[in-house]
Amino acid sequence: MLRPDYPISTERLILRPFHADDLDALNAFQSRSDVARYLYWGPRSRAESAAALAKRIHSSTLQKEGQFLAIAVELASTGELIGDLNLEYISAEHRQGEIGYVFHPDHHGKGLAAEAVTELLRLGFEELGLHRIVGSCDGRNIASANLLERIGMRKEAHLRENEVVKGVWTDEIVYAMLEDEWKGR
């Protein structure tokens, strides 16, 4: 079981569980078409963000495979919610997980996502005891692919037109890191 010792502080961020009062800030980036462009869902209405937030509020710990840990990313200097992290517990037997992340575009290009996602990897490897963590992105999402490479994940696959997303065939790029790679970085 993973019950992080919240809040988790990094150099510039605070990682914490989601709260009901995060709705406006969460919807501020979930409602944007540039944020949803490479995601499975489109820009969210306030009601859709409220439903997503309700699920995230109840996902602050991981108890068994199939569940996901949802973590709010707050800018330490201002307290502003700027991102949303996921760590899904894929398999207990194979000790595997998958990461996901979404950040407000106003905070892109500053290394904040890399800082947060690196901490997510630490939680997966050091606290949950995972052996392997994957992260994947739409093949068109160069910024996300670059982020996964920058934090030390290894490109394992480029799947050509393997999914239809919003009516368009898309490629998927899969990255991974093993526990030994995490320890050796």
pLDDT, tens only, 48-105: 999 999 999 999 999 899 999 999 999 999 999 999 999 999 999 999 999 999 999 9
Indicate the average pLDDT of the chain: 97
pLDDT of residue 172: 98
Average pLDDT for residues 14-19, to the nearest whole number? 98
pLDDT of residue 101: 98
Output the pTM of the full model. 0.95
**What CA–CA distance (Å, rounded) separates 140 from 161?**
11
pLDDT of residue 17: 98
pLDDT of residue 2: 85
pLDDT of residue 1: 79
Q: Which CATH superfamily is domain 8-131 in?
A: Gcn5-related N-acetyltransferase (GNAT) (3.40.630.30)
Position 178 pLDDT exceeds 90: yes
**Cα–chain center distance at 7:** 17
Average pLDDT for residues 3-10, to the nearest whole number? 95
pLDDT of residue 137: 97
Tell me the domain boundaries of the chain: 8-131
